[in-house]
């Protein structure tokens, strides 16, 4: 690090950044970036790179971002092979340049998965997640005026467990880190959030079956218990949600198999 | 994968326990073999379940591996694995070697088609095993395959619990330990026999 008259230390970096146009093969581009403040977030460092490119009359790198405070789930970069970079439990926007060394080469790639095709450079299409949510990520409530908050009592342990699952911001790091491109951690988190709350009971089995079906159709892979998703999740969601997803899925399949048709069988009685 | 794997994991325990009768002497193991063959219903029932489970396990494994590989879309240019174990990452490979071994093993001891020479053993299982493991390449192949089975079980047995939804963060490390212990018990139980033959303990 270069210490400049008691001012903040800065870094000079070599960046290998993925450049790709939709539907075309991509490749890494190498850039040098000087005077990066250690207090800058990773996204601010990328902003600096883009400003440097604009000044040179070159095309900028596209990347997703929104809240920049770690809660929206938009930022999505694989940094040195790690979705959201080297610090566990944070998103790319909350990753600061103080975690990198002066002179370091940093490789920046998009999420890599069949279900997340590259739109441009580092931005990928995560609408597979939207389809999963549309297929079951809702509950039935009366619309109009806001319902009274405490009409339905929720035991504290259940509320806590649902809240742990609801921490999922849907960023897709689980899919990007999974060696199978599986979305089980995401789907597990969403299903657990709603399936254990009293408000989620009406659609419980239908939700589980249809979200799993949509997940498979969207081209995500299958869980083989590597555990990489948990290790890279910026919200530290655990594999528990996958075990519980499996449990709820088995339960829903068994109930569906033995469900009543409401009519007597034709085979006599 | 889980249910068929459970059947196969249970089978190797039974098989290993039966094999340990080698240490009780020729009469014990030969009587056990004779008892199995005297109950064709039991023998063929077990064989049918095993054949179906094996085929289903392999078929599911192939589909799973191919789909997962495609879903990964090549993966990142830099590999930064945080916690996936060697066992979990090599399941298809350990599986293929174990399958190759199982085929050889059946040709070797069940069909007596390879590697036993011209000797006819009739119903003397004890003599057949001693002759079988007197060949060093056969014994080493057996030992390596069983160590790979240990690796395979250490991930597989623990995964069964996850697939059936019977695992959480509190139990995960215990179940991982249990699966590893199970793998070692199976492997060491089986390996003890070729080792005993190689060292001359069993003659």
List CB contacts (< 8 A) between B67 and chain A.
Answer: 221-222
Residues A53 and A84 in one domain: yes
Domain-embedded: residue A111: yes
Residues A70 and A181 in one domain: no
Domain-embedded: residue A49: yes
For an interface test with B, give the residue of A164, A180, A224, A236 to mutate (most B CBs within 10 A): A224
Residues A106 and A44 in one domain: yes
- Residue A110 burial (C-beta neighbours within 10 Å; 0-12, 13-18, 19+): buried
Neighbouring CB atoms inside 10 A of A104's CB total 13
Residues A240 and A185 in one domain: yes
Residues A141 and A82 in one domain: no
DSSP track, chain B: -HHHHHHHHHHHHHHHHHHGGGGG-HHHHHHHHHHHHH-HHHHHHHHHHHHHHHHHHHHHHHHHHHHHHHHHTT--SS---SS--HHHHTHHHHHHHHHHHHHHHIIIIIS--SSSTT---TT-HHHHHHHHHTSHHHHHHHHHHHHHHHHHHHHHHHHHHHHTT---HHHHHHHHHHHHHHHHHHHHHHHHHHHHHHTTS--
Domain-embedded: residue A166: yes
CATH number reported for the structural domain that contains residue A157 in this entry: 1.10.1060.10
> Is the Cβ pair B71, A228 closer than 8 Å?
no
Q: Fill in the DSSP letter of residue A92.
A: G
Q: How confident is the model at residue B4 (pLDDT cuts 50, 70, 90)?
A: very high
Q: How confident is the model at residue A131 (pLDDT cuts 50, 70, 90)?
A: very high
Neighbouring CB atoms inside 10 A of B133's CB total 21
Q: Fill in the DSSP letter of residue A62.
A: P
Whether A16 and A105 have beta carbons less than 8 Å apart is answered as yes
* Strand-strand pairing, A105-109 and A10-19: parallel
Residues A149 and A236 in one domain: yes
Please check the confidence at residue A4 and state whether its pLDDT lies above 70.
no
List CB contacts (< 8 A) between B172 and chain A.
Answer: 239
Q: What is the pLDDT of residue A3?
A: 57
Percent of chain A predicted with pLDDT > 70 = 97
Residues A98 and A140 in one domain: no
Q: What is the pLDDT of residue A249?
A: 97
Distance, C-alpha A208 to centroid of its chain? 19
Residue where a domain terminates, one of A85, A119, A153: A119
Which of A223, A232, A250 is the closest to B82 by Cβ?
A232
Whether A250 and B160 have beta carbons less than 8 Å apart is answered as no
Which region among A62-71, A203-212, B56-65, B120-129 has the lowest average model confidence (pLDDT)? Answer: B120-129
Domain-embedded: residue A82: yes
- For the record, the structure tokens of B61 come out as 């494994």
Please check the confidence at residue A206 and state whether its pLDDT lies above 60.
yes
Tell whether pTM > 0.90. Answer: yes
* Number of cross-chain residue pairs from A and B with Cβ atoms under 8 Å apart: 114
Number of domains in chain A: 2
Which of A179, A232, A238 is the closest to B75 by Cβ?
A179
For an interface test with A, give the residue of B57, B61, B84 to mutate (most A CBs within 10 A): B84
Q: What is the pLDDT of residue A269?
A: 56
Domain-embedded: residue A269: no
ipTM of the predicted structure?
A: 0.91
Q: What is the pLDDT of residue B123?
A: 75
Collapse the DSSP code of A82 into the 3-class scheme (helix H, G, I; strand E, B; otherwise coil) and give the result: strand
List CB contacts (< 8 A) between A250 and chain B.
Answer: 164-165
Whether B66 and chain A come into contact, CB under 8 Å, resolves to no
Residues A135 and A213 in one domain: yes
Quick one: which H or E segment has residue B9? Answer: helix B2-19
Average confidence (pLDDT) over A23-44: 96
Whether A245 and A192 have beta carbons less than 8 Å apart is answered as yes
Q: Fill in the DSSP letter of residue A167.
A: T
Q: How confident is the model at residue A25 (pLDDT cuts 50, 70, 90)?
A: very high
Q: What is the pLDDT of residue B147?
A: 98
Average confidence (pLDDT) over B1-14: 95
Residues A135 and A250 in one domain: yes
Whether B162 and chain A come into contact, CB under 8 Å, resolves to yes
Residue where a domain terminates, one of A55, A88, A119: A119
Please check the confidence at residue B107 and state whether its pLDDT lies above 60.
yes
Domain-embedded: residue A266: no
Residues A247 and A138 in one domain: yes
Task: Give the residue on A whose Cα is nearest the Cα of B87.
Answer: A226
List CB contacts (< 8 A) between A114 and chain B.
Answer: 70-73
Whether A54 and chain B come into contact, CB under 8 Å, resolves to no
CATH number reported for the structural domain that contains residue A83 in this entry: 3.10.20.30
Q: How confident is the model at residue B118 (pLDDT cuts 50, 70, 90)?
A: low
Average confidence (pLDDT) over B12-25: 96
Of residues B138, B176, B169, B170, the one with CA closest to residue B154 = B176
Q: What is the pLDDT of residue A1?
A: 55
Please check the confidence at residue A233 and state whether its pLDDT lies above 90.
yes
Length of chain B: 203
Q: In Å, how far is B181's CA from the nearest CA of chain A?
A: 18
Average confidence (pLDDT) over A189-207: 96
Q: How confident is the model at residue B203 (pLDDT cuts 50, 70, 90)?
A: confident
Residue where a domain terminates, one of A90, A119, A148: A119
Whether A215 and A132 have beta carbons less than 8 Å apart is answered as yes
Domain-embedded: residue A84: yes
Supply the mean pLDDT for chain A. 95
Q: What is the pLDDT of residue B155?
A: 97
Domain-embedded: residue A232: yes
Which region among A3-12, A53-62, A195-204, B33-42 has the lowest average model confidence (pLDDT)? Answer: A3-12
| CA–CA gap between residue A153 and residue B36 (Å, rounded) | 60
Three-state secondary structure readout of A136-155: HCCCCCCCCCCCCCCCCCCC
Domain of residue A158, residue span? 126-257
- For the record, the structure tokens of A162 come out as 């649902």
Residues A78 and A110 in one domain: yes
Quick one: which H or E segment has residue B130? Answer: helix B125-133
Average confidence (pLDDT) over A102-129: 97
For an interface test with A, give the residue of B89, B155, B165 to mutate (most A CBs within 10 A): B165
Percent of chain B predicted with pLDDT > 70 = 98
Q: What is the pLDDT of residue A163?
A: 96
Residues A183 and A240 in one domain: yes
List CB contacts (< 8 A) between A81 and chain B.
Answer: 76-80
Whether B75 and chain A come into contact, CB under 8 Å, resolves to yes
């Amino acid at each position: 690090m270069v210490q400049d008259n008691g001012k903040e230390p800065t870094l000079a970096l070599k960046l290998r950044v993925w450049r790709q146009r939709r539907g075309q093969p991509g490749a890494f581009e190498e850039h040098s970036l000087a005077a990066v403040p250690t207090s800058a977030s990773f996204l601010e460092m990328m902003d600096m790179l883009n400003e440097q490119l604009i000044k040179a009359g070159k095309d900028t790198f596209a990347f997703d971002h929104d809240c920049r405070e770690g809660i929206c789930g938009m930022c999505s970069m694989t940094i040195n092979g790690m979705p959201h970079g080297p610090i566990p439990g944070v998103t790319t926007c909350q990753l600061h340049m103080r975690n990198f060394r002066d002179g370091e080469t940093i490789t920046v790639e998009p999420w890599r998965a069949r279900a997340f095709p590259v739109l441009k450079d580092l931005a990928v299409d995560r609408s597979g997640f939207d389809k999963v949510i549309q297929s079951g990520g809702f509950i039935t409530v009366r619309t109009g005026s806001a319902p009274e908050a405490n009409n339905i009592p929720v035991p504290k342990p259940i509320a806590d467990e649902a809240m742990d699952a609801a921490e999922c911001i849907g960023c897709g790091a689980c899919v990007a880190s999974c060696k199978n491109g599986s979305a089980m951690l995401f789907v597990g988190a969403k299903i657990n959030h709603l399936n254990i709350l009293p408000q989620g009971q009406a659609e419980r089995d239908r939700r589980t079956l249809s979200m799993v079906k949509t997940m498979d159709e969207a081209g995500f892979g299958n869980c083989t218990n590597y555990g990489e998703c948990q290790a890279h999740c910026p919200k530290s969601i655990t594999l528990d949600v996958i075990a519980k997803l499996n449990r709820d899925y088995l339960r829903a399949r068994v109930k569906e198999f033995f469900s009543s048709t409401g009519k007597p069988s034709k085979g006599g009685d | 994968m889980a249910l068929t794997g459970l059947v196969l994991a249970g089978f190797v325990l039974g098989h290993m326990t039966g094999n340990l009768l080698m240490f009780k002497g020729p009469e014990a193991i030969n009587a056990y073999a004779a008892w199995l063959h005297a109950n064709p219903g039991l023998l063929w029932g077990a064989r049918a379940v095993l054949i179906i489970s094996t085929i289903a396990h392999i078929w599911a494994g192939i589909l799973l591996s191919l789909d997962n590989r495609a879903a990964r879309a090549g993966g990142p240019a830099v590999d930064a694995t945080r916690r996936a174990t060697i066992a979990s990452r090599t399941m298809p490979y350990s599986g293929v070697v174990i399958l190759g071994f199982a085929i050889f093993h059946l040709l070797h001891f069940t069909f007596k088609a390879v590697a036993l020479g011209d000797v006819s053993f009739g119903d003397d299982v004890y003599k057949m095993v001693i002759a079988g493991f007197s060949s060093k390449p056969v014994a080493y192949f057996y030992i390596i395959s069983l160590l790979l089975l240990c690796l395979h079980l250490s991930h597989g047995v623990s995964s069964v619990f996850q697939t059936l939804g019977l695992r959480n963060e509190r139990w995960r490390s215990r179940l991982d330990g249990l699966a590893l212990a199970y793998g070692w018990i199976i492997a060491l139980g089986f390996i003890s026999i070729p080792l005993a033959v190689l060292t001359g303990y069993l003659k």
